[in-house]
A and B are shown apart, each in its own frame.
Chain A
Amino acid sequence: MLNKKELYQSVREGDDMTVKIIGEIDHHNAVGIRSDIDSEIYACRPKRLIFDLSGVEFMDSSGLGLILGRFTTVKSVGGELIIRNPCKSVMRILKLAGAERILNIEFENGG
């Protein structure tokens, strides 16, 4: 399913829901997509919500708020959040907040 603003795509596979965000995550974009993603989480109740950040070229601390907000949402429906393939600059923001200590971050293909 392609979000109308084309900021993210979501795919459901079994108990997994993968949200691939494309482009830049700032306050403007985060506000634009967070309730849409939450609606999908509540509808699908995934066991694993995978945030694929491989297409994210830029993220500021508003993106951190988006991620942590979805962490809370998916946890409330009994699921877990996995962050996949953040680029170097996105990882810097996550590490600055110590978020890598509470988030599952995975890299595919040894990235």
Chain B
Amino acid sequence: MKEKIKNEMRMKLPSLSVNEWVARSAVAAFCAQLDPSASEIADIKCVVSEAVTNCIVHGYRDTVGIIYIAVALFEGGLVRIEIKDKGVGIADVKQARVPLFTTDPGNERSGMGFTVMESFTDKVRVTSKSDGGTKVVMYKRLFGKNDNS
């Protein structure tokens, strides 16, 4: 990545479901300095919500752990969002990224989390190992008023 970093933030939140709103609101507020369009901010909120929910529901399950969020803003409107947990990890990342696949169907999980992340950002990288936590890194270039989506 050649763009110069303009600003960055880090936050840690306990994996309580009430913090889903906190996380997406905080990241959206931070990204607002790039003057995104309304739909771009909606996308940012959605993908953060998905990734954080995955940490809560799948990463930490019935325990409470820490969710690590790091956001970097680069020249040219590029945003990098990293969301990480130290939970149970994903045994098969490729399978987990298949649309509608879920390990928790009984709790009305739609299995669309990664699909949403992939559709609403430009790039998603997922690294995980069993009992080793999961890290999701997403990139999205914001165009602001020139956004045609």
Contact = CB atoms under 8 A, between A and B. Distances in A.
A26 interface: yes
B42 A89 contact: yes
B109 to A, nearest CB: 6
Nearest to A65: B108
By DSSP majority rule, is chain A's interface helix, strand, loop, or mixed?
Answer: helix
B52 to A, nearest CB: 9
B45 interface: yes
Nearest to A62: B53
Given A28-B17, A31-B17, A58 B112 contact: no
B49 A26 contact: yes
By DSSP majority rule, is chain B's interface helix, strand, loop, or mixed?
Answer: helix
Would you list the 7 A-B pairs with minimal beta carbon distance, nearest first?
Answer: A28-B17, A65-B108, A61-B112, A60-B49, A69-B108, A65-B110, A89-B42
A11 interface: no
A58 B109 CA distance: 17
Interface of A: 24, 26-28, 30-31, 34, 58, 60-62, 64-66, 68-69, 88-89, 93, 96-97
A100 to B, nearest CB: 14
Contact of B112 (A64, A66, A88, A89): A64
B45 A58 contact: yes
25 contacts: A26-B21, A27-B20, A28-B17, A30-B108, A31-B107, A34-B108, A58-B42, A58-B46, A58-B49, A60-B46, A60-B50, A60-B53, A60-B116, A62-B53, A62-B108, A62-B110, A64-B110, A64-B112, A65-B107, A69-B108, A89-B42, A93-B116, A96-B112, A96-B116, A97-B112
B43 to A, nearest CB: 8
Nearest to A61: B112
B39 A26 contact: no
Nearest to B28: A58
Given A26-B20, A28-B20, A89 B115 contact: no
A8 to B, nearest CB: 16
Given A60-B50, A65-B108, A68-B108, A96 B115 contact: yes
A65 to B, nearest CB: 4
